[in-house]
Amino acid sequence: MSVLRSGRVRKATELHVTGLRVKSTTLNVMGMALTAVSAGMVIGGFVELGSTNRDTSALFWSALVTFVAGITLFGSTQPGDVRPRDVFASVGWTWVIVTGFGALPYVLGGTFDVSGIDTSGQIVNAIFESASGYSATGSTALTDFSIPGRGMLMYRQITQWYGGMGIVVLAVAVLPFLGVGGLDLLTAEAPGPGSDRLTPRVSQTAKGLWSTYVLFTVAVATALIIIPGPSVYDAIAHGFSTVATGGFSPHASSIGHFDSVAVEIAIIAGMLVSGINFNLHLLARSGTRNAYWANSEFRAYIAMLVGCALLIIGILWLDGGFAVGESIRVGIFNVVALATSTGFGNATNPGGAGDFALWMPAAQMILLFLFVVGASTSSTSGGIKVMRLQVLLAHSIRSIRRSQHPRAVIAVKHGAVAVREDVISRMAGFFVVYAILVLSGIILLTAVGGGPLESISAIIGALSNMGPALGEAGPTGNFTEAFTEPGRLVLSAYMLIGRLEFFPILLMFAAPIRAMRERIL
């Protein structure tokens, strides 16, 4: 169901006082999201208390501040009916405020307080890390993984788990009285062109998505516990970021820390499943036969992964001088990691076989293609999504055919279903906005000192929530070294824009601006 179909007309972002509670869906959802975020900080605090006990106070104080802010907003407001521009405001502003409060533990814990970095640099890095976590991007400004305690690192993993499925979806799951507005919020937050109502009540849909998400997280963590090598802590931490397709790891060398084929296979399976449309998972759970293979996007997703993996394996083996087994191992892992926008690395050391920043240009161009496309719609992955690419290609083919047969009526189809013209127009607009944002971001990053290769790949990676880029910002590099503070702030904004697929962030100013104009007029 499209956000633009909402029939409600009352303003949710205007403040309507009802008794002692203010009617504002934006503030209400924001309060619930902050309350959920504080729970993640508490979990991290208890992990820290039982282990390194370095950042315990930072996590608990941050949790208290965030909880008080959240419960105050939630308790003093009540949801109102929403219309399209109010949906964008609710989603966009919620993500911004969550990112700000999410940076508190890093600031209070001095996570980025290392030699040569001043106070402003600490705050910038904290915002960058928080944005990267809650957008499930995986880019990091952390240069020394020995500084944060185990609890702080676990909180860092939890930020991605929240961001993967979406804090707004969680809010809808526990706020069934949002009604139709709740479905609009779900649609605006969930990655892809739209989210279907798969159950009679939107809260049931959100709960179904979250229960599936939790099930996959438990499955990945359990598999990693069974496999020799990872500890229980490592298994849970990587379970969070694998299913979120986030890419954070408590180890500087990411999955390469384990140097285990079995671990990589388990992670690959988790990333593959999480890159599939979660609506298909719900259909499969409900007993729908052939739910996956009957879907055109799923088939294209699998074909893209297989094709790109074979190409890269061939390039690494024939042109790069890699052994056959090594080419297969690093080729498949990195293709899946980048196609699903997870961004895990399996390089055991800088310059290792899995360090794709040192691969041949042909292999890197294939990876850059995966940066842009990503995985399936309504998955936890980023990118423009396979479905949009399919529709764009079909539309291009139709344009060519129409040049030969101007009067022909030719439908653009996705699988066996004809795509409506208004949907095609929105997708075309999406590509235009994407191109403008990429070009603008590259100009901004290079203007503040970023290298050309790093700027191009980092901007595309940020919009696609990919994580590592190329050059100095590669899988064994660091964004603190590759980009200046202004550059990292630009990338932080781009990660949030990419996570919500542009329009909620870009249009979240429309509701308050229009409300001000209406008051003035």
Could you report the per-residue pLDDT of 434-493, keeping only the tens digit for each? 999 999 999 999 999 888 999 999 999 999 998 888 888 888 888 988 899 999 999 999
pLDDT of the residue at 266: 97
In terms of residues, how long is the chain? 521
Instruction: From 140, 189, 194, select the one nearest 165 (Cα to Cα).
Output: 189
Lowest mean pLDDT among 245-249, 299-303, 385-389, 503-507: 503-507
Cα(132)–Cα(467) distance, rounded to whole angstroms?
A: 8
Q: What is the pLDDT of residues 149-189, one digit of tens each?
A: 999 999 999 999 999 887 656 555 544 444 434 445 555 55
CB 4 within 8 A of CB 84: yes
Contact 150, 52 (CB under 8 A): yes
pLDDT of res. 217: 96
Q: How many CA atoms lie within 13 A of 500 on its CB side?
A: 31
Q: Which distant-in-sequence residues (6+ apart) come within 8 Å of 325 by Cβ? A: none
CA atoms within 13 A on the CB side of 256: 22
DSSP type of residue 23: E
Confidence of residue 65 (pLDDT cuts 50, 70, 90): very high
Query: What is the pLDDT at residue 9?
Result: 36
64-78 average pLDDT score: 92
Rounded CA gap, 445 and 494, in Å? 11
Q: Helix, strand, coil: what percent of the chain each, to 5?
A: 65, 0, 30
The amino acid sitting at 294 is A
Q: Using one digit for the tens of pLDDT, what is the confidence trace for 281-298?
A: 988 998 888 899 999 999
Q: What is the C-alpha separation between 12 and 18, in angstroms, rounded? A: 13
The rounded distance, in Å, linking the Cα atoms of 491 and 134 is 14
| In contact, 63 and 35? CB cutoff 8 Å | no
DSSP code string of 174-226? H-GGGTHHHHHHHHHHSSSS-----SSSHHHHHHHHHHHHHHHHHHHHHHHHH
Reduce the DSSP state of residue 390 to 3 states and report it.
Answer: helix
Distance CA 373, CA 383 (A): 5
